């Protein structure tokens, strides 16, 4: 005699319960299809998911993107090399300076341009500050996806604002930097900028401690993220995932270490790795990365040499790189950001291709969500950290 189970099902064998019988999905008679988005507050932009639900469990998930498609690659093939620099700001609008760097690096490789040392330092400093901006606002958005509307987001934005002020006084714009140029940076640091940046960097650990004590041991956060959306390492590698999400699954792959591009070989920092690859790991790895970023920023702000910020021989206008192709990548806050260019010796690229980390990380969304509850889909999507400007281009 079997005791009745909690759900009142007469059979103790869950495989025979009506709920699990539909899990073969050969008939969708009992599945409920929900279209999440595109105007959903948690989809981080205009992004839609077609979800098939069995009860509350996700059995199928189809991401639908393209709502924000702007023909970025085709436009870049119509304007000069310099002209697509401002467009790269608009890929991942949280990290415009990393995008600038990746594009500038690709053109520099193509045309064989050198970068002066001071400019290399500025690039490292700005793109690490960008990483702070991105991860900080990620935490805020993540928590508001989980229902903590406002408070944490405002704390995060308060810190982010300090860095955006730095960006504004350096590049002229808070988010659309358009700052790097082929062979260096557009202008030198304004007077007093380094001190201001040091002050922000010195104040950051206190903020991180505060955030961490709010999040790391919070019961709600733990129950909503631990063991949710697990991604095993082999699947992450097969899906070409990069960035913090890949490292949360325990794969040691950071392009700053693998390629040692720029001057990253001069700094001591470690690459934090996760154990389980669940949402909690993906959340906490951002904290660890920010602490490592501070370890890069402090010596960089201390050691930055005097000197020019532009290679005087580099042309910006009418740049005609020799025929050939180049691929350059950087470790953007969200993952590997690469630009692939083919030159036919004219002043426009013959082919221009972006490898956006958000889009490629997003392709694994279904694997992460299968079998999870519908309410967790938002959390999982949040931890992947996408920006639709980059996904749709």
User: Among 287, 276, 229, which Cα is nearest to 248's?
Assistant: 276
Strand runs labelled E in the chain:
32-36, 48-54, 57-64, 180-181, 184-185, 324-332, 335-343, 349-355
Q: Is the peptide bond before 38 cis (omega within 30 degrees of 0)?
A: yes
Least separation in angstroms between residue 24's CB and other proteins is 47
Residue 164 or residue 237: which is nearer to other proteins going by CB? 164
**How far is 184 from 308, CA to CA, in rounded Å?**
9
Q: Least distance (Å) from other proteins to the CB of residue 343? A: 18
| Nearest-angstrom CA–CA distance, 350 and 343 | 5
Maximum Cα interatomic distance, the chain, rounded to a whole number of Å: 87
* Smaller CB separation from other proteins, 103 or 264: 103
- Taking the least distance from each CB to other proteins, the nearer of 176 and 233 is 176
Contact 285, 274 (CB under 8 A): yes
Q: Under a CB-based contact definition with an 8 Å cutoff, are residues 86 and 265 in contact?
A: no
How deeply is 366 buried, as exposed, middle or buried, from its count of CB atoms within 10 A (0-12, 13-18, 19+)?
middle
Minimal distance, residue 114 CB to other proteins, in Å: 20
- Shortest Å distance, C-beta 41 to other proteins: 22
The phi-psi region of residue 49 (left if phi > 0; otherwise alpha if psi is between -120 and 50; otherwise beta) is: beta
- Write out the residues near other proteins by the rule CB under 8 A: 75, 79-80, 82-87, 151, 155, 158, 161, 165, 168-173, 176, 178, 186-187, 190, 210, 213-214, 316-317
Which C-beta is closer to other proteins: that of 42 or that of 316?
A: 316
SS3 content of the chain, % helix, strand, coil (to 5): 50, 15, 40
Q: Residue 175 or residue 233: which is nearer to other proteins going by CB?
A: 175
CB nearer other proteins, residue 52 or residue 82: 82
Pick the closer one to other proteins by CB: 158 or 270: 158
- Reference 283, options 156, 98, 102, 101; nearest CA is 156
CB of 317 to other proteins, least distance (A): 5
In the complex with other proteins, which residue's Cβ is closer, 47 or 204? 204
For residue 86, how far is the Cα from the chain centroid? 19
**In the complex, minimum distance from the CB of residue 85 to other proteins, in angstroms, rounded to a whole number:** 8
- Give me the least distance between CB of 79 and other proteins, in Å please: 5
For other proteins, the closer of residues 114 and 210 by Cβ is: 210
Burial of 243 (0-12, 13-18, 19+ CB in 10 A): buried
Cα separation, 383 vs 369, whole angstroms: 12
Q: How far is the CB of 173 from other proteins (least distance, A)?
A: 6
In the three-class reduction of DSSP (H, G, I as helix; E, B as strand; rest coil), residue 340 is classed as strand
Give the nearest distance from C-beta 60 to other proteins in angstroms: 39
Q: Which residues contact 252 (CB under 8 A, 6 or more apart)?
A: 271, 273
CB of 242 to other proteins, least distance (A): 28
Please say which residue, 7 or 217, places its beta carbon nearer to other proteins.
217
């Amino acid at each position: 005699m079997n005791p009745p189970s909690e759900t009142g099902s007469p059979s103790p064998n869950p495989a025979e319960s009506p709920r699990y019988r539909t899990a073969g999905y050969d008939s969708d008679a009992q599945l409920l299809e929900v279209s999440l988005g595109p105007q959903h507050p948690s989809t981080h932009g205009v992004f839609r998911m077609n979800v098939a639900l069995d009860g509350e469990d996700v059995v199928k998930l189809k991401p639908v993107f393209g709502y924000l498609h702007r023909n970025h690659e085709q436009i870049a093939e119509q304007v000069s090399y310099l002209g697509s620099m401002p467009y790269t700001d608009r890929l991942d609008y949280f990290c415009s300076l990393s995008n600038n760097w990746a594009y500038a690096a690709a053109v520099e490789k193509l045309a064989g341009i050198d970068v002066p040392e001071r400019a290399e330092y500025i690039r490292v400093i700005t793109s690490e500050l960008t990483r702070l901006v991105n991860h900080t606002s990620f935490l805020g958005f993540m928590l508001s996806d989980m229902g903590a509307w406002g408070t944490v987001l405002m704390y995060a934005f308060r810190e982010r604002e300090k860095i955006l002020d730095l960006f504004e006084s350096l590049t002229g714009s808070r988010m659309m930097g358009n700052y790097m140029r082929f062979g260096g940076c557009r202008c030198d640091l304004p007077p007093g900028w380094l001190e201001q940046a040091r002050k922000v960097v010195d104040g950051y650990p206190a903020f991180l401690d505060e955030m961490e004590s709010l999040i790391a041991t919070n019961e709600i956060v733990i129950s909503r993220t631990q063991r949710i959306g697990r991604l095993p390492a082999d699947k992450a590698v097969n899906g070409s995932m990069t960035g913090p999400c890949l490292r949360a699954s325990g794969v040691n792959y950071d392009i700053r270490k693998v390629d040692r591009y720029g001057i990253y070989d001069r700094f001591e920092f470690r690459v934090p790795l996760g154990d389980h690859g669940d949402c909690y790991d993906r959340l906490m790895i951002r904290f660890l990365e920010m602490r490592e970023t501070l370890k890069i920023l402090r010596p960089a702000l201390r050691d930055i040499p005097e000197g020019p910020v532009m290679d005087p021989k580099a042309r910006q206008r009418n740049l005609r790189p020799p025929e050939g192709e180049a691929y350059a990548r950087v470790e953007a806050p969200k993952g590997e950001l690469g630009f692939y260019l083919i030159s036919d010796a004219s002043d426009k690229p013959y082919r221009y291709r972006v490898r956006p980390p958000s889009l490629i990380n997003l392709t694994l969304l279904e694997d992460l969500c299968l079998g999870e509850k519908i309410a967790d889909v938002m959390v999982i999507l949040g931890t992947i950290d996408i920006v639709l400007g980059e996904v749709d281009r």
